[in-house]
Amino acid sequence: MMSKSWETNTAPPEPASPMPSRSIPANDFGPRLLLVDRDSAGIRSLVAGLSRALAGSVRVEIVTGGRAAAEMLRGESFDLVLADLASLSDLAGKVDEAIARLVKLSAGALLVALSEGGSVSVAVAAMRAGAHDVIALPIAPEAFATRIGELAQRHGKGQALSFADDARPGRADFEGFVGVSSQMQHVYDQIERIAPSSAPVFITGESGTGKDVCAEAIHSRGPRAGKRFVAINCAAIPRDLLESELFGVVRGAYTGAHEDRKGAAELADGGTLFLDEIGEMDLSLQAKLLRFLQTGTVSRVGEASQRRIDVRVVCATNRNPMQLITNRLFREDLFYRLHVLPIHLPPLRQRPADILVLARHFLTRYAAEERKRFSDFTPETASLMTARDWPGNVRQLQNLVRRLVVMFDGGEITAQMVTAADIESLTLGHQDTPAASRAEPVILPLWQQEQRIIEEAIARFSGNITLAAAALELSPSTIYRKRQAWADMDGTRRKGAA
Ligand SMILES: Nc1ncnc2c1ncn2[C@@H]1O[C@H](COP(=O)(O)OP(=O)(O)OP(=O)(O)O)[C@@H](O)[C@H]1O
């Protein structure tokens, strides 16, 4: 087996020169990287830069070819496997087969494929076979390190693949974000690094992790800060209206178009256009968005002429974009146009250091708003809060603290108070059922139960979706999206019955 290794905290190799062959260090506390390549100076330079940026005594093993990689993976475990797709042909004839074999052998490692001028279909095949990501080469060393850091955070390898401290003290807040964790420091650094560029940004993260906050931070930190930031939520606007909301409309283009109107893209000219919940955009509008990104021009609905527009596009989704592509709900070509600078916001449960910091921040803010005096959380409550999973992320924590402040008069927040405030959200929508119907419960499909709970919450707040969403710890856009889906299902059923 052809293999070499180096340890970065002692003697990082010169980027373009051959790697020194070293024995494996006895002291083995840092991350472990396996590079599978074809002796490519470009790739080795990237890996040398990455390993210098990582914290700890990084050990890098290099093998040429997929078979050697498989052999290495059978005997040792790694934190990160970087596989140049062009070097795997000796392992299997097809890229997906080779990647699938490496994935199987590298259990627990982050597996990233590198593709030099590779086609989109090869990248998708590698992703489908289990690669965590495919990075197209060439790429700048800094962007490469950022991408690996982002993937490590996303796939729970943030601790093993943490970046060396750059001696700057951790920031407790940043452009609307509150959070001291190393994961959030990484997010702040990424925002600072990408803000000056005009390239599209693709933000991913579970609902409530702060994707809107992130988009605004990118705008505020960049050279377009003096111009407009225009956000459009692709899930909240009915499908038929989204095109005119995005690109504008001329008078008479359709019934109800009473006047010429600019769309979000035109309004954002010179500034930033934020496309939230991009995964919900339908395929025909995706084609128009792609054309806009390719040409930099828009046509209002009902108008033949083109208008040139200069916007920076930032988009966000809480869905897995690769899954959307696989299910043919999102165009691959549009994805690769938008996915130039990716940022992932880690869920709150993966950054427990932020939970109390955020809880105290919201307590201070809402207590001031409600003119009440709260001191702090009791130690027992603090550990209870830190141990929770927070599936609704920061939004759920924020709503809970807001309810606590509204429900209680002040003082120290106890575990009992938290439980009481929580029960309120859990029992929302439950009503006493007559004994007879309790005796023979009818089990409705999950979507119907969900629909009932959501509609009851909306009714309870007199039709105010924002308040209903807050009580249910959902985003308003999720409610809009679900209502649209139920309406579509209704329409389909009616058509079927006719
Ligand atoms: N790190 C943070 N610090 C302070 N507030 C935060 C942070 N993250 C999120 N928030 C707050 O949590 C709420 C939800 O954030 P945001 O709307 O940005 O989430 P999201 O990821 O876009 O959610 P969704 O996908 O449901 O739209 C907002 O009120 C936001 O201000």
Take atom 28 of ligand 1 and give the residue whose Cα is closest. Answer: 395
CA atoms within 13 A on the CB side of 355: 23
| CA 182 – ligand 1 centroid, Å | 18
For residue 209, the ligand 1 atom closest to its alpha carbon is 21
For residue 398, the ligand 1 atom closest to its alpha carbon is 12
Mutational pocket test of ligand 1: of 204, 209, 232, the residue with most ligand atoms within 8 Å of the beta carbon: 209
If phi over 0 gives left and psi between -120 and 50 gives alpha, with beta otherwise, what is residue 309? Answer: beta
**Could you tell me the two tokens for 470?**
């807050």
Q: Specify the fold of 3-154.
A: Rossmann fold (3.40.50)
Take atom 24 of ligand 1 and give the residue whose Cα is closest. Answer: 207
How large is the ipTM?
0.99
> How far, CA to CA in Å, does 233 sit from each of 92, 138, 183, 376?
44, 33, 27, 36
Q: Specify the fold of 173-346.
A: Rossmann fold (3.40.50)
Architecture of domain 441-497: Orthogonal Bundle (1.10)
Bridge pairing between strands 410-413 and 373-377 = parallel
Q: What is the pLDDT at residue 362?
A: 96
pLDDT tens digits, one per residue of 39-79: 888 888 888 888 887 877 788 899 999 999 999 999 899 99
| CA 256 – ligand 1 centroid, Å | 34
Every domain range in the chain assigned CATH 3.40.50.300: 173-346
Instruction: Write the DSSP string, 383-445.
Output: HHHHHS--TTHHHHHHHHHHHHHHHS-EEEEPHHHHHHHHHHHHHTT-----HHHHHS-----
Every domain range in the chain assigned CATH 3.40.50.2300: 3-154
| CA 471 – ligand 1 centroid, Å | 15
349-427 sits in which CATH class?
mainly alpha
Every domain range in the chain assigned CATH 1.10.10: 441-497
d(CA 280, CA 238): 11
| CA 399 – ligand 1 centroid, Å | 11
If DSSP codes are grouped into helix, strand and coil, which group holds residue 253?
A: coil
- Tens-binned pLDDT, residue by residue, of the chain (498 aa): 445 565 544 433 433 333 333 333 434 567 899 999 888 888 888 888 888 878 777 888 999 999 999 999 998 999 999 999 999 999 988 889 999 999 999 988 999 999 887 666 787 788 888 888 888 787 777 778 877 877 787 677 777 887 775 534 568 889 999 998 888 989 999 999 999 999 999 999 999 999 999 999 999 999 999 999 999 999 988 888 899 999 999 888 777 778 889 999 999 999 999 999 999 999 999 999 999 999 999 999 888 889 999 999 999 999 888 888 888 899 999 999 999 999 999 999 888 889 989 999 999 999 999 999 999 899 888 888 888 888 899 999 999 999 999 999 999 999 889 988 885 455 333 333 333 333 334 456 677 778 778 877 776 665 677 777 777 878 888 888 888 887 777 666 545 544
